[in-house]
């Protein structure tokens, strides 16, 4: 097994055994050895063994002066990812700086990506936006550009910068289509309907939502969210009959597992009942 294949292994105990075999075949403290070790730590963390994972990585820190730069970066990457995931942000910042001090100029873009991950974890939207926009102007791979555009699209959507969202989502959408990423495509489809609604383009909401809801593979969360917008659009047009049909067709998808979305649907249904003076109520 080569390193690139090893890094694609599922995060299971069986994968740890394969990684250990790989590590034993590598030169001690080589890049391959330490990169595989870092991935082993990531898997251990995902299996709930965070302390063990960090202990494996931290034991190499005193020997950074004996390790090649790529190996140091691999160890720092593992520490950064785990610490960000568990909310140890000061520790993550420490090793982002440590990693930066070892990065050659040719790889300085990696520090931008680390700061992106940090700002996203901190929910520091303004700084994340600024660094993502800068990152996209660097010499990065197609996959890294997709990563940046996806994260930036989420920020634009959250900030209500819908024109920017519509422009930047084009490449991720094509990437999702090429790679059959259904849930991501469904999210983009819903976002377009939402943007039409907040833009008061209710006829477009009605047209697009009806087409969107015709997809039998649509996830329940998007069935509820898009049917909610469709009901609202019909109410805006005083078409109570069609709003009632939507309520009847999609109330079965309400559940405690999708509580926020189900409540939003219910409030619109309540508004519909009040306007039509009907007495019946939602089951769930």
Q: Domains in the chain: how many in total? A: 3
pLDDT, tens only, 199-232: 999 999 999 999 999 999 999 999 999 999 999 9
Residue where a domain terminates, one of 62, 84, 102: 102
84 lies in some domain: yes
Q: What is the pLDDT of residue 100?
A: 97
Q: Please tell me whether residues 156 and 206 are part of one structural domain.
A: no
Q: Which of 233, 244, 242, 241 is nearest to 270 (CA)?
A: 244
* Residue 44 clears pLDDT 90, i.e. is over it: yes
Mean pLDDT of the residues in the chain = 95
Residue ending a domain, among 85, 102, 119, is 102
Q: Is residue 271 part of a domain?
A: yes
pLDDT surpasses 70 at 280: no
User: Domain check: are 87 and 113 in the same one?
Assistant: no
Which pLDDT score, from 0 to 100, does residue 279 have? 56
Rounded mean pLDDT, 74-93: 97
Backbone angles phi, psi at 281, to 5 degrees: -135, 170
* Residue with token string 């001090």: 101
Domain shared by 80 and 153, yes or no: no
* Residue 87, pLDDT score: 97
Domain co-membership, 135 together with 228: no
Residue 189 DSSP label: H
Return the higher-pLDDT residue of 167 and 284. Answer: 167
| Pair (123, 97) in one structural domain | no
Q: Kindly state the average pLDDT of the residues 187-205.
A: 98
- Residue 131 CA to residue 133 CA, distance in Å, equals 5
Closest by alpha carbon to 187, among 150, 145, 230? 150
Q: For residue 135, is pLDDT > 60?
A: yes
What pTM does this model have?
Answer: 0.86
Domain boundaries, position 37: 1-102
pLDDT (average), residues 30-52: 97
Per-residue pLDDT averaged across 73-87, rounded?
Answer: 97
Pair 97, 113 in one domain: no
């Amino acid at each position: 097994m080569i390193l690139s294949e090893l890094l694609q292994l599922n995060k299971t105990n069986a994968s740890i055994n394969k990684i250990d075999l790989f590590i034993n075949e590598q030169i001690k403290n080589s890049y391959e050895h330490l990169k595989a070790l870092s991935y082993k730590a990531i898997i251990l963390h995902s299996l709930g063994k965070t302390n063990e994972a960090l202990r494996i990585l931290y034991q190499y820190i005193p020997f950074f002066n004996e390790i090649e730069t790529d190996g140091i970066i691999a160890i720092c990457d593992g520490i950064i990812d785990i610490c960000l995931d568990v909310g140890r942000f000061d520790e993550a910042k420490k090793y982002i700086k440590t990693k930066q001090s070892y990065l050659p100029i040719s790889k300085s873009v990696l520090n931008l990506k680390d700061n992106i991950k940090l700002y996203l974890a901190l929910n520091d939207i303004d700084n994340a936006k600024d660094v993502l926009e800068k990152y996209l102007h660097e010499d990065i791979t197609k996959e890294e550009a997709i990563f940046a555009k996806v994260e930036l699209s989420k920020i634009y959507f959250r900030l209500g910068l819908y024109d920017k969202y519509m422009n930047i989502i084009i490449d991720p959408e094509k990437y999702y289509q090429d790679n059959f990423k259904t849930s991501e495509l469904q999210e983009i489809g819903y976002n377009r309907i939402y943007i039409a609604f907040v833009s008061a383009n209710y006829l477009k909401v009605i047209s697009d939502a009806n087409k969107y809801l015709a997809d039998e593979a649509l996830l329940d969360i998007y069935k509820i969210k898009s049917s909610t917008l469709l009901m609202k659009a019909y109410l805006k047009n005083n078409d109570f009959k069609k709003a009632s049909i939507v309520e009847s067709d999609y109330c079965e998808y309400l559940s405690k597992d999708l509580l926020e979305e189900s409540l939003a649907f219910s409030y619109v249904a309540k508004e519909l009942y009040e306007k039509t003076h009907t007495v019946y109520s939602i089951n769930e």
